A and B are shown apart, each in its own frame.
Chain A
Amino acid sequence: MEMRAVISRNMLHIALLGELDHHCASGIRDKIDTLLCDPSIKKLVFDLKDVTFMDSSGIGVILARAAAMKRRKGGRTVIVNAQGQIERVLRLSGVYTLVEREDEESEARGCSMRMM
């Protein structure tokens, strides 16, 4: 699994590519948490467009980050571009009680700074 992260203003945009399973969950978790050390980040976006597989291990990664964002003043988490199997697992998990869902590509991508 690959990850591309972009920070622009108060938003951390995480694009994941490949299969998000238990095997790669901890690596992804650690990378995101390092970036989330920046307390000015108020919005966390998971772009799942290029995720080709996800199971409940991926739900664990998203839920824990979303809970951490919720503890920040004004903090929120958004999932964009989830489809097919990924969306079915997300819906089943009840993740959308804690995380917002958006369909479009994130608005601020064009003027963002590439981090990794």
Chain B
Amino acid sequence: MQYADDVTITFASLSKNELLARSFAAAYAAQFDPTVRELEDIKTAISEAVTNVVVHAYPDRIGQVELHFSSQGDVLTMEVTDRGVGISDIQAAREPMFTTKPEQERSGLGFTVMEAFMDELCISSVSNEGTTVTMRKRIDQKRSMDMA
């Protein structure tokens, strides 16, 4: 479903676009008046998800990364989708320190960081069809602090 506030961006799975993705996410989130910390959380989580597409989704080619930003009330949703190899064991992938690329000095902490910095993390994946990572964050800390 495409609502008026939704934004979709597609770009190539090149590492230089990790910075681009962080900038897009920060720009989208800015309209919800987030705290500095909330903005950092959002940039960190999107960076992890997009880096995963760049590193893991397309082992021997450049593919597409699709970002979808949307909101419902004060909850921001970010979806990161690829059409790559998929994740065969999602439970294992979510474990801290689990990585299939230790030789590239991957720390295996990407999903751990996303989980810690967001309110909700959902991973759906189909082998050889791709992966969608959905992250939600409530942007309300500033307002509740102002009211206190």
Contacts and interface: CB of A to CB of B under 8 A. Distances in A.
Interface in B98-135: 104-110, 112-113, 116-117
B43 A22 contact: no
A93 B107 contact: yes
Interface in B1-47: 15-16, 18-19, 22, 37, 40-41, 43-44, 47
Interface of B: 15-16, 18-19, 22, 37, 40-41, 43-44, 47-48, 51, 54-55, 96, 104-110, 112-113, 116-117
A interface residue count range (under 10 / 10 to 19 / 20 to 34 / 35 or more): 20 to 34
A84 B44 CA distance: 12
Contact of A85 (B44, B96, B108): B44
A69 B110 CA distance: 24
Contacts of A92: 109, 112-113, 116
Given A19-B19, A23-B15, A84-B40, A57 B113 contact: no
A56 to B, nearest CB: 4
Interface string A52-79: 0101110111011000000000000000
B54 A22 contact: yes
Interface of A: 19, 21-23, 25, 29, 53, 55-57, 59-61, 63-64, 84-85, 88-89, 92-94
Contacts of B15: 21-23
- Most A C-beta atoms less than 10 A away, residue of B16, B40, B105, B116: B105
